[in-house]
């Protein structure tokens, strides 16, 4: 199913009463990460201006490196089971991640791989990508995640795309703690969330 070509400025009237749960995952483990700041901003935006969208930040820092020796009789380590259950219960996914060496960050790839173990908890969910990185803004790793998503059976929104270039360079988009401080970027982030909201409901057959 294709995502909307352009995001709606507001949720459709038919969707206004529908609620969705969004699992937000940050590919950086740094406390001051601007990508983590994007998730905080997304939570604020959804709480204040997108009725029906509930975003929960899912911490991946405690996940062990993927090792199938840790799988015992179809079960996983407690941290992995808890993570997988959060993803299973969600309706859609918001990924916010830096770009490492032109590709996906190690922590995020590890989380993705744990979620893909049988049964794959990512399947048939809508997803969106936002990135804060250097000169590229994270374009390369976004497209790598989209490729991975083909196997995972994730359905990414196509528009709008969100690449935050050099967020700490003047004029700064994020402060020293990673908080998003640019109102124009915040509006672009809201557009992504609105698109994700509408596409999630479409995918679930609710609009």
The pLDDT tens digits of the residues spanning 126-136 come to 999 999 987 77
Gap between the Cα atoms of 44 and 107, Å rounded? 25
In a domain, 190, yes or no: yes
Contacts of 119 (CB under 8 A, 6+ apart): none
Confidence bin at 10 (pLDDT 50/70/90): low
In a domain, 130, yes or no: yes
Residues 187-192 have a mean pLDDT of 98
Confidence bin at 72 (pLDDT 50/70/90): very high
In a domain, 5, yes or no: no
- Report the domain count for the chain: 1
pTM of the model: 0.90
For residue 133, the model assigns a pLDDT of 87
CB 42 within 8 A of CB 188: no
For residue 165, the model assigns a pLDDT of 85
In a domain, 6, yes or no: no
In a domain, 4, yes or no: no
Q: Computed from CA positions of residues 65, 96, 195, 166, in that sequence, does the dihedral angle turn out positive or negative?
A: negative
User: At 45, is the secondary structure helix, strand, or coil?
Assistant: helix
Beta bridge partners of 23: 56, 93
Domain around 21: 13-66+73-203
């Amino acid at each position: 199913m294709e995502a909307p070509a352009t995001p709606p400025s507001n949720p459709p009237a038919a969707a206004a009463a529908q609620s969705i749960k969004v699992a937000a995952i940050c590919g950086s483990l740094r406390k001051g990460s601007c990508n983590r700041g994007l998730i905080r901003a997304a939570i604020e935006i959804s709480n204040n201006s997108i009725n029906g969208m509930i975003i929960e930040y899912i911490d991946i820092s405690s996940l062990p490196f993927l090792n199938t020796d840790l799988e015992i009789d179809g079960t996983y380590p407690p941290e992995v089971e808890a993570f997988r259950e959060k993803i299973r219960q969600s309706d859609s996914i918001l990924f916010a991640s830096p770009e490492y060496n032109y590709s996906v960050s190690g922590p995020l790839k590890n989380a993705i791989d744990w979620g893909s173990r049988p049964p794959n908890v990512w399947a048939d969910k809508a997803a969106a990508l936002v990135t804060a990185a250097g000169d590229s803004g994270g374009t390369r790793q976004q497209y790598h995640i989209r490729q991975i998503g083909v196997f995972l059976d994730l359905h990414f929104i196509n528009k709008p795309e969100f690449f935050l270039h050099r967020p700490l360079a003047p004029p700064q988009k994020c402060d020293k703690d990673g908080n998003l401080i640019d109102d124009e970027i915040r509006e672009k982030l809201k557009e992504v969330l609105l698109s994700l909201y509408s596409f999630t409901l479409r995918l679930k057959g609710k609009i």
